[in-house]
Amino acid sequence: MTTSPAPVLVTARFALEPLVVAHAREMVGVLADPALYRFTGGEPPSPAALEVRFARQAAGRSPDGSARWLVWVLRDRGSGRAAGFVQATVTGEAPARVAEVAWLVGTAAQGSGAAAECAAAMVAWLREDGVGVVRANIHPDHAASEAVARRLGLAPTDERVDGEVRWELRAG
């Protein structure tokens, strides 16, 4: 799998920083609201659990090397505060490379368009890096994530993954 290093991505309001373990200290607060897990399940991570998770993700590859893991922390350029993250798991070789994407914006930034703005920057970079198919699995009752997916150009498919609707965008 040939890939470009993940750069800092910049939007009008955010700098998307490639994940490092040190982000855990700040992100534990962003991820602390139990309401964030309504559709995905789980609960807010402890600082120690988040450091372990970020260490695994920051490695950039699955243990078997078959997938590239990309995570960007969303930093508000005005306040300097972390607001959430976007992520992609990339498999395959260009032009058949596939990215499974996701986004999570903390409660304080929800409803501001942050998820769509930052996910769009990630998807644009993934496309430039040779991704031909972008997918997102979204809970069927999560209207906000569906709206983000639509803004990215993804469309719902008939496929279900763990009860979620698969959304997809193909090159073309």
Looking at the DSSP bridge assignments, the partners of residue 41 are none
Question: What are the domain boundaries of the chain?
Answer: 9-170
Rounded CA-CA distance 161/164 in Å is: 5
Burial of 12: CB neighbours in 10 Å, binned 0-12, 13-18, 19+? exposed
Q: How far is CA 141 from the centre of its chain?
A: 19
The residue among 129 and 86 whose pLDDT is bigger is 86
Q: What value does the mean pLDDT take over residues 8-13? A: 99
Round to the nearest angstrom and report the end-to-end CA distance of the chain: 22
Task: Give yes or no for a contact between 138 and 151, defined as CB atoms under 8 angstroms apart.
Answer: no
Q: Given a cut of 60, is residue 138 above it in pLDDT?
A: yes
Looking at the DSSP bridge assignments, the partners of residue 72 are 18, 86
Yes or no: domain 9-170 corresponds to CATH 3.40.630.30: yes
**Phi, psi of 48, deg, nearest 5:** -65, -45
With bands split at pLDDT 50, 70 and 90, how would you rate the model's confidence at 48?
Answer: very high
With bands split at pLDDT 50, 70 and 90, how would you rate the model's confidence at 27?
Answer: very high
Q: Given a cut of 80, is residue 5 above it in pLDDT?
A: no
Smallest CA-to-CA distance from 56 within 32, 29, 89 is with 89
**Phi, psi of 164, deg, nearest 5:** -100, 155
Q: What value does the mean pLDDT take over residues 43-71? A: 97
Looking at the DSSP bridge assignments, the partners of residue 88 are 70, 101
Q: Given a cut of 80, is residue 2 above it in pLDDT?
A: no
- CA distances to 13, 119, 142 from 17, rounded to whole Å, are 13, 13, 26
Q: What value does the mean pLDDT take over residues 117-130? A: 96
Q: What is the pLDDT of residue 69?
A: 97
Angle at 12 between CA 137 and CA 152, to 5 degrees: 25
